[in-house]
Chain A
Amino acid sequence: ILNVEQSPQSLHVQEGDSTNFTCSFPSSNFYALHWYRWETAKSPEALFVMTLNGDEKKKGRISATLNTKEGYSYLYIKGSQPEDSATYLCASLSGYSTLTFGKGTMLLVSP
């Protein structure tokens, strides 16, 4: 994998559903993996920074896992709420502190 790739591109779920997204990244020269939440008309908000293989991070109903050997990370949202509607971006951090972003997963949670 040469680029950071995210799937699915978009997702529409009902309130209360649990959901997950995938981020694939180059496993060579890996330094850290960032997840951001980006609501419309706002700044991207940092959710997690993960560095170690097997890392698991949690923030309320949102959690993430990291596999640096195979180059993927999962973001999970438990019991989705309408306020979770946003674009979720992942980015791989290289040794020069430059972030390479995926195109994002756009989540819409309907009441």
Chain B
Amino acid sequence: ETGVTQSPTHLIKTRGQQVTLRCSSQSGHNTVSWYQQALGQGPQFIFQYYREEENGRGNFPPRFSGLQFPNYSSELNVNALELDDSALYLCASSLKGTSTDTQYFGPGTRLTVL
């Protein structure tokens, strides 16, 4: 196991609602990245947080936002949910500045939007 945890495991929401997903990073890691994996696709990069600031963003609209806390845990918030937001959301923690930047993934949160 990687030591990266995510909550909740599963979530069902309706269109238009808001959702918050949580991620606890591996001990000693200072960077958290979030990914969305839709059915039949590889994980798509949403954004990355490093020392509580956004440090890179993928092609996702502003209704996807995040936070990183002083203990390096992180939240992903999605407003005005759409049906296409149904996906597995993965977070990964890493130690920025290492030569490999290996990312350690949590098990994911499965979000279903009805």
A10 to B3, CA, bound (A): 29
Q: Given B31, B58, B92, B102, which contacts A49 in the complex, CB threshold below 8 Å?
A: B102
**Quick one: closest A residue to B97, CB to CB?**
A97
Known: A42-B107, A43-B108. A101 touches B102 (CB 8 A): no
Task: Decide if A97 touches B31 in the complex (CB within 8 Å).
Answer: yes
A96 to B97, CA, bound (A): 11
A55 to B90, CA, bound (A): 28
Task: Decide if A44 touches B102 in the complex (CB within 8 Å).
Answer: no
A86 to B66, CA, bound (A): 30
A31 to B58, CA, bound (A): 18
Task: Decide if A32 touches B100 in the complex (CB within 8 Å).
Answer: yes
A61 to B106, CA, bound (A): 25
A106 to B80, CA, bound (A): 33
Chain A-chain B contacts (Cβ-Cβ < 8 Å), number: 65
Q: Which residues of B contact A49 (CB under 8 A)?
A: 100-102
- For chain B, residues 69 to 114, give those with C-beta under 8 angstroms from any C-beta of chain A: 90, 92, 94, 96, 99-108
Task: Decide if B102 touches A43 in the complex (CB within 8 Å).
Answer: no
A97 to B97, CA, bound (A): 9
Q: Which residues of B contact A91 (CB under 8 A)?
A: 42-43
Q: Given B2, B44, B56, which contacts A43 in the complex, CB threshold below 8 Å?
A: B2
Q: Which residues of B contact A100 (CB under 8 A)?
A: 45
Task: Decide if B33 touches A99 in the complex (CB within 8 Å).
Answer: yes
CB distance from B109 to the nearest CB of A (A): 12
Q: Which residues of A contact B1 (CB under 8 A)?
A: 43
Task: Decide if B99 touches A98 in the complex (CB within 8 Å).
Answer: no
Task: Decide if A4 touches B56 in the complex (CB within 8 Å).
Answer: no
Residue ranges of B at the interface with A (Cβ–Cβ < 8 Å)? 1-2, 4, 31, 33, 35, 40-45, 48, 55-56, 58, 90, 92, 94, 96, 99-108
Residue ranges of A at the interface with B (Cβ–Cβ < 8 Å)? 4, 32, 34, 36, 41-46, 49, 51, 89, 91, 93, 96-104
